[in-house]
Amino acid sequence: MNTEDLIQQLSQSTQTQPKLLGVRPLLVVVFLGITLYLLVLQSWIGLREDLLIQLARPAFSLEIALMIMLLISGVFASVLSRYPDNHQYPTMRYIPYILFALLLTLLLLQILVPSAMPTGELRYIHHRFHCTLWVTGSAFFSAVILMLTIRLGATVTPMHSGALSVLAATAVGCLTLRLSEMNDSIPHLLLTHYTPSFLFALLGAFLGKYLFKW
């Protein structure tokens, strides 16, 4: 048997490896899946009756816009982090952190500037921690999807990947809740919406350290 025949025989006997999704199709699939999940959740819990009135308030509109950008950038950064070189977008992983910091800054400014509040004064109301339970429960599906996507890759930033996936997942719960709950108390939002999101992101970083080992 000559060399050419041997090469041909080996090439025919070798199993063809399945093609993996490219980064763009993968981003589209993951993003559409999480968006569909968000729409299902929102249709289930409904929208607040005064949503149009609240959207006319700059502080509320900016808060919603920041949450949407946090969700989008978090999903993109999570998926890109599965590649060793972050698909040549290394700074992408910092954008969700910046947006989350801007979101917290916006809320704190509304405490310091009472005129930015819905009623012109700081309102302290009874805090119900079912909001935290909603953020936790609604984030589970998105977190699992993003973590599985990262786990099947080859991330070299496991803690970043874990934190980003959980931060993006909690953004789903925070966004749906903000569009449905008629409660604009800033202390309530900080205590039951965004502080848990920050703590869950830290937990995600801890889990990522162990879940995303090669």
Sign for the CA dihedral angle at 110, 62, 162, 132 comes to positive
Mean pLDDT for the stretch of residues 4-29: 64
Per the structure block, which two tokens stand in for 59? 């502080």
pLDDT at residue 17 in the model: 44
Phi/psi for 127 (5° steps) reads: -90, 130
| Distance of alpha carbon 37 from alpha carbon 51, whole angstroms | 21
Per-residue burial over 129-161, b if 16 or more Cβ lie within 10 Å, else e, is: eebbebbbebbebbbebbbebbbebebebbbbb
**Which stretches of the chain are assigned E, i.e. beta strand?**
none
Please return the burial class of 116, using the count of CB atoms within 10 Å of its CB with bins 0-12, 13-18 and 19+. Answer: middle
Q: What is the pTM of this model?
A: 0.83
| Distance of alpha carbon 188 from alpha carbon 75, whole angstroms | 26
**What contacts 190, CB < 8 A, 6 or more positions away?**
104, 107
pLDDT at residue 124 in the model: 46
pLDDT at residue 157 in the model: 86
Residue 119 predicted with pLDDT over 70? no
pLDDT band at 206 (very low <50, low <70, confident <90, very high): very high
| Distance of alpha carbon 146 from alpha carbon 171, whole angstroms | 13
